[in-house]
Structure 1
Amino acid sequence: MNIEERGVGFHCAGCWLYGVLSLPAAMPASARGVVLVVGGPQYRVGSHRQFTLLARELASQGVPVLRFDYRGMGDSEGDLRDFSDVEPDLRAAIDAFFLEVPSTTEVVLWGLCDAASAAMLYAHHDQRVTGMVLLNPWARTEEGAARAYLRHYYLTRLFDPGLWKKIAAGRFNPAAALRSFRGLLGKATRGAAASSQPGAAAQAVAQPLPQRMLEGYSRFRGHTLFITSGADLTAREFEALASGRDWRRAMRGKRVARERLRDADHTFSRIEWRNQVARWTADWLQRW
């Protein structure tokens, strides 16, 4: 693989942050770069080395890539922080990218799970960000998780031969199962009840993460590639959210592409899944 890799360091709010640039052997006169946004808690290598492998693959196809550690993660200094509090880190990383790779004219943010959520919250603030690749975005609420579990786990469980063997052998506890089902049902309906409160009471409730993500994404005017896993409840929860009217409106149009890897788990742990994600990413980068 004919690429160059080098370490970089840059400042963010008084802390040193560290990352790795993967660069094509021959840089184009102007380039669209990719910043890999790391979901937590992990560092710039990624689960199953996915970020390292993806950065090298894209660089081999002429795309410069930066992957870095937030403050408090990996080699970077500072205190550990939540994904919703990394806007300064992302801005500092993009600043460093433009300094280190002067031919860069625009960047795409690529993120998995809460890194995708962080990208959605940040991108509209920075005109240099013209695209996002968002994998299994984290839009977790207690009621959303309960609805996803009820819809997908329980339905699948009914067709599981192991369940019926357990029932036939007398090892199934219907009372415990009913308590679990009722608990999930209560959580699943809690959000609908809260949303029906009169104005003053509703305003007293803190704005939930999905709404903040929607507001941020609705203000973004660039291109987006959504990739979801078929065997992941986080992805199912986001897909259920995206089926709502406001999300459908925000995600329509030629600037939005969607892919779904039917059998993949949350982190795309098999090499064939990671390779497919890399192909989709590279192809999408060439289409606009």
Structure 2
Amino acid sequence: MRRHFTFACAGEILAATLDEADGSTGLLIVSGGNEIRSGAHAGMAALAAAVAVAGHPVMRYDRRGIGDSTGENAGFDSSADDISAAVLAMRAEVPTLTRLVAFGNCDAASSLALYGPAAGIDALVLANMWTLESESDEADEDEAAATMTAGAIRSRYLAKLKDPRELSRLASGGVNIGKLVRGLKQATAKTEVTGLAARLGQALAGMPLPTKLLVAEHDRTAMWFLEHWDSEPFTPARANPNLTMARLASGSHSFASSDDKAWLRERILEALK
């Protein structure tokens, strides 16, 4: 059975949905970006229903300022209170719960990495983790490049050089030469991890929870994460025995195809066992 309810968070009222099941291990789905709790094309609602059929209660919610919830939308990096309140709400709504796994995609994965361990969560599933300072993957080239590794910048420019439309833009003067030169300089520079990526590296290095990292290998956000993951500053994170990684040969950020959905569902069910 699916039912809707509300719970309090920092003086605001958050809307939530619970797909009920008899199992004592439950799933908390944290929405990414500015998506409502049903997800893109109702993908998270469908995932919740499938996991509940497998015997696990599943809760989704809208963080402050999103969807049916009140308050101001301050972005994923201000969602620590929302996550903690959601954990308390799910444990109250499902008193038989003994273990809670949280799943997030994109910046929801990043917020869970940063704030999940202190919220009373028992395990994490983090997909296509967001590592850029901007909260949009349509960021200006300079803004995006500022937090990308040199390898990621090289990959980006190689992809552009293989695109006939980009070559046409270059030949016709449609490319900002100043940005191109700056980008090529960064592509040859030594990798530095700063800002959000550095915070995530530290969080993953010290992650005390069993955590499964999921990556759609051809998704741009996942590729940026993998470039950081493979860099020297992430060495302590790669050595953390609590972290495992599963890779999917897909470019779908939201696991949109039926095969991608099935793969994601199986990885989550593995974490719930």
Return the match for 1:134 from 116, 126, 135: 126
Matched, 1:144 2:151: no
Larger radius of gyration: 1
CA distance in 2, matches of 1:234, 1:63: 29
CA distance in 2, matches of 1:81, 1:156: 34
CA distance in 2, matches of 1:81, 1:191: 33
- 2:184 is aligned to 185
Aligned residues: 262
CA separation of 1:179 and 1:254: change in aligned 2, threshold 3 A:
same
Matched, 1:154 2:153: no
Residue segments in structure 1 that go unaligned for 5+ positions in a row: 196-206
> What one-letter code is carried by the residue in structure 1 that aligns with 2:58?
V
Q: Deviations over 1:200-243 (max 9, x none)?
A: xxxxxxx7111222222333211111111222221111101111
SS at match of 1:216: helix
- 2:237 is aligned to 250
SS at match of 2:171: coil
Return the match for 1:120 from 107, 113, 117: 113
CA distance in 1, matches of 2:178, 2:170: 17
CA distance in 2, matches of 1:153, 1:225: 27
1:253 deviates by 5.2
CA distance in 1, matches of 2:197, 2:234: 10
Q: Deviations over 1:120-142 (max 9, x none)?
A: 1102213x312111111111154
**Structure-1-length-normalised TM-score:** 0.81
Matched, 1:68 2:64: no
Segment of structure 1 superposing worse, 103-112 or 252-261: 252-261
Matched, 1:13 2:10: yes
Give RMSD over aligned pairs: 2.7
1:159 deviates by 4.5
Within a 5 Å distance, the mapping from 1:175-254 to structure 2 comes to 176=175, 178-186=177-185, 208-252=195-239, 254=241
**Structure-2-length-normalised TM-score:** 0.85
CA distance in 2, matches of 1:82, 1:175: 33
> What one-letter code is carried by the residue in structure 1 that aligns with 2:147?
G
- 1:198 is aligned to none
SS at match of 1:236: helix
Residue segments in structure 2 that go unaligned for 5+ positions in a row: 134-144
Matched, 1:93 2:86: yes
Q: Is the Cα–Cα contact under 8 Å of residues 124 and 210 in structure 2 kept in the other structure? A: yes
CA distance in 1, matches of 2:162, 2:232: 32
Q: Is the Cα–Cα contact under 8 Å of residues 37 and 110 in structure 1 kept in the other structure? A: yes
Segment of structure 1 superposing worse, 44-53 or 253-262: 253-262
1:72 deviates by 0.5
CA separation of 1:175 and 1:122: change in aligned 2, threshold 3 A:
closer
1:188 deviates by 5.2
Return the match for 2:247 from 243, 260, 282: 260
Q: Is the Cα–Cα contact under 8 Å of residues 10 and 16 in structure 1 kept in the other structure? A: yes
Segment of structure 1 superposing worse, 93-102 or 32-41: 32-41
> What one-letter code is carried by the residue in structure 1 that aligns with 2:14?
L
CA separation of 1:237 and 1:107: change in aligned 2, threshold 3 A:
same
Q: Deviations over 1:129-167 (max 9, x none)?
A: 12111111111154234746532233234445x369x66
CA distance in 2, matches of 1:84, 1:62: 32
- 1:270 is aligned to 257
CA distance in 2, matches of 1:284, 1:62: 13
- 2:29 is aligned to 36
SS at match of 2:92: helix
Percentage of matched positions with identical amino acids = 27
CA distance in 2, matches of 1:171, 1:240: 26
Q: Deviations over 1:102-129 (max 9, x none)?
A: 1112211211111011001102213x31
Q: Deviations over 1:169-211 (max 9, x none)?
A: x983479475442132345578868x8xxxxxxxxxxx71112
Q: Is the Cα–Cα contact under 8 Å of residues 122 and 210 in structure 2 kept in the other structure? A: yes
CA distance in 1, matches of 2:170, 2:86: 54
CA separation of 1:211 and 1:149: change in aligned 2, threshold 3 A:
closer
